[in-house]
Amino acid sequence: MQLSDFKIIVTGAASGMGAHFATRLAEAGAQVAAGDVNETGLAELVEAGQKLPGAIHARALDVSDDGQIASFVDWAHGAMGGLNGLINNAGVLRDGLLVKKDRKTGEIKTMSREAWERVISVNLTGATFMVRDVVAKMVATDAGPGAIVNISSIARHGNRGQSNYVSAKAALAANTLTWAREFAPFGIRVGAVAPGMIETPMTQGMNQKARDALVSAIPVGRIGEAEDIWLAVKFILECGYFNARTIDVDGGLSM
């Protein structure tokens, strides 16, 4: 498919990679429905995208709320005059060791249920129900060929201090194959991109020492940029023979 054929939802589109994907899609002539909890960021995205060949429509969306997902998908279908794609990108971090012993006091600290459930609720349940409702709408409206891109993470292979995030991103990569098989009869392909360490507000909030240590371990010698990940997303959207797989785009980094 050509990018200009897409009427596509981008979640987490108010900042970082999501904003970059939405802008690149509209530059290529696509219709984009941008959703995020950050309404200020959405307004800036729409403003910046006004003169692009495609269009960026935006509305508040919390993917951890089933009701909001359902009404967003209905709205997006109407706003774009159809729906044939999803970039499942919204995500949060609540990092911490599952069990930690304080070096000075000897106190034992553990990951809270809140930290576990928040990440699972946004990064896994939210992403899964986005796929469910987008595909249900595409099938109900005979949308024809379409594509879904899940944004996983290199953490899917396992990473210290991220039990919650690893669980969500690994499941998303595994279900990329599940959903590719389930939706093939409808002409819908499903792929995923697993970014390494990318320069966005998410990584800008990291502890500087941890960030420097990670960047120095990247074989290509630099942190990734949103454009590096866009190239993989674009490939999945355009290549009709790509299906069911997850592409690691990480500069060769192993966590």
164: contact with ligand NAD by CB under 6 A: no
Q: How many CB atoms lie within 10 A of CB 103?
A: 7
251 lines the binding site for ligand NAD (CB under 6 A): no
Nearest approach, Cβ of residue 83 and ligand NAD (Å): 18
Cβ pair 154, 194 in contact under 8 A? yes
In the region spanning residues 69 to 108, those forming contacts with ligand NAD, defined by CB under 6 A, are: 89-92
User: What's the sign of the alpha-carbon dihedral 235, 236, 238, 239?
Assistant: positive
Measured distance CA(195)–CA(182) in Å, rounded: 25
Active-site option among 21, 129, 165, 183: 165
Catalytic residue status for 241: no
Beta carbons within 10 angstroms of residue 168's beta carbon = 28
Nearer to ligand NAD, 111 or 223 (CB): 223
Residues shown for the chain: 255
Min dist CB 165 to ligand NAD, Å, is 7
Among 9, 18, 34, 80, binds ligand NAD (CB under 6 A): 18
Q: Does 64 bind ligand NAD (CB under 6 A)?
A: yes
Q: Give the interface with ligand NAD as residue ranges (CB under 6 A).
A: 11-12, 14-18, 36-38, 41, 61-64, 89-92, 122, 126, 151, 153, 195, 197-198, 200-203
Catalytically active residues are 165
